[in-house]
Copies of this chain bind each other. A is one copy, B any other.
Amino acid sequence: MIHNLAKRAHDRNWTLDPIVRSLLDTDWYKLAMLQFIWKHFAGTRVRFTLINRSRSVRLAEVVDETELRRQLDHVRELRFTRSELIWLAGNTFYGERNIFSPGFIEWLAGFSLPPYRLLREEGQLRLEFEGCWEEVTLWEIHALAIVSELRTRHGYARLDEMDLDILFSRAKARLWSKVERLAGVPGLRFADFGTRRRHSFLWQEYVVELLAAKLPGGFTGTSNTYLAHKHNLEAIGTNAHELPMVLAALARLGRLGATGLKDSQYEVLRLWQEMYGKAMQVMLPDTYGSTQFFRGAPDWVADWTGVRLDSKDPHVGGEEALAFFAGRGRDPRKKLLVPSDALDVDLILGLHARFGGQIQPGHAPGDFRSARDFQDPAKWRHEPRCRISAGIGTNLTNDFAGCAPVAVPEFAPISLVCKVTEVEGQPAVKLSDNFSKATGTPGEIAHYRSVFGTAGLAEVPVTV
């Protein structure tokens, strides 16, 4: 056997195995939001903070600071390439061409990420990004993906070559058993939302390529823009909590014109539809509680296409969303639900049973565990109550717990987020439908609760 001597020499000597290979290696909605921010809120001073909600995991002992700096520094050196910018400008997103304006594309051509601030604090990493919102915001996904993969690599170091081979064999076998359960379910749709907490870039790429090839009807695409570009897939995404969070903080400061705190959540939608029209009207109602959001929504909000369900039991949240549309006289069958919170195969199948068709008497969503159940007309008929398309994250791109031949604590996913924490010196707040997911200072959270109330909120343990 003739060895590839160049490769072997290179493999022993490379200086950096980059985790983020391109500025496109981010969720697509970050770019859609970036244009929104660039147009309406350029110059707004914000701070993003990495928050490890799994406090028992002492991140700073797992993630090597030097390596983290090298990876972060590498991302700062990245630029959008000419091919990437041409693709962004020329591609069709959600059926629309020219989503991105020439001025924005031109601005992107000169874009690079600003400096970060990194400290170690009581076993945790204190990683912060401060600056103009349009410069800082992309750090979120890159920082999360880097920390997540560095944790993975720390786990790799516990394994020899055979162990690693077994690790990936079992992870692939596990993934394939998910594919088998999702295959053949009439009307089932889902996308990859797993960039931020992925096991690794290469694993996410493997997952996405496999799903695209083997579930062509059901797998609608990936939130990862780089992978969508590279593999000719749909880039999928809606919008995130940072928009209402920043606008709420600005409203608190009296800097959102006449719009007050409570109305700021709808101002996001108004500006968004002004920019993107019908193409991307999936609202995210849970920033300050979905129940109050629907109750207080202006009637035009009910013209939006759909609702992303991100922190409430999606069976409950989905019913609430459909009731909102029906109560406003809109036909729920034309609306779209996008459950995206800690989904796994069982939950996806159960939600599809409930919302994607008619469950026959005597059955319940939990009875639907494989394609066979959906193909039995005595149990279920494919007469959708609405459209539904799930976004699977960590369970798709980082489901390695128990796959290694030895115990590797680094492969248990943790709840890591990177959230906007300050806006023009004002604390940013998210309440969410789940008390455990609230972020912000206690005083500000209390104030927001006094304004938005706590209707429909629940206490649910956060895993990922």
Residues on A facing B (Cβ under 8 Å): 2, 4, 6-7, 160, 162, 165-166, 168-170, 172-173, 176, 179-180, 209-210, 213-214, 405
Contact = CB atoms under 8 A, between A and B. Distances in A.
Given A2-B6, A4-B4, A214-B405, A169 B176 contact: yes
A166 B162 contact: no
B172 A176 contact: no
Contacts of A214: 162, 405
B210 A162 contact: yes
Contacts of A4: 4, 7
A442 B184 CA distance: 52
Contact of A170 (B162, B176, B210): B176
26 contacts: A2-B6, A2-B7, A4-B4, A4-B7, A160-B213, A162-B209, A162-B210, A162-B213, A165-B172, A166-B172, A166-B173, A166-B176, A168-B169, A169-B169, A169-B170, A169-B173, A169-B176, A170-B172, A170-B173, A170-B176, A172-B173, A173-B173, A176-B405, A179-B405, A180-B405, A214-B405
Nearest to A5: B4
Q: Which of A165, A166, A173 has most chain B Cβ within 10 Å?
A: A173
Nearest to A183: B405
Contacts of A166: 172-173, 176
A162 B216 CA distance: 14
Q: Which of A6, A7, A172 has most chain B Cβ within 10 Å?
A: A172
Nearest to A169: B172
A350 to B, nearest CB: 25
Nearest to A10: B2
Nearest to A179: B405
A354 B197 CA distance: 49
Contacts of A168: 169
Q: Which of A162, A169, A170, A405 has most chain B Cβ within 10 Å?
A: A169
A437 B248 CA distance: 81
A160 B210 CA distance: 11
Nearest to A168: B169
Contacts of A179: 405
Given A173-B173, A214-B405, 11 more contacts: A2-B6, A4-B4, A4-B7, A162-B209, A162-B213, A168-B169, A169-B169, A169-B173, A170-B172, A172-B173, A176-B405
Contacts of A160: 213
A6 to B, nearest CB: 6
A403 to B, nearest CB: 9
A387 to B, nearest CB: 29
A156 to B, nearest CB: 17
A53 B457 CA distance: 67
A424 B179 CA distance: 58
A220 to B, nearest CB: 19
A160 B209 CA distance: 13
A170 B160 CA distance: 20
Contacts of A172: 165-166, 169-170, 173
Contacts of A176: 166, 169-170, 405
A184 to B, nearest CB: 13
Contacts of A209: 162
Contacts of A162: 209-210, 213-214
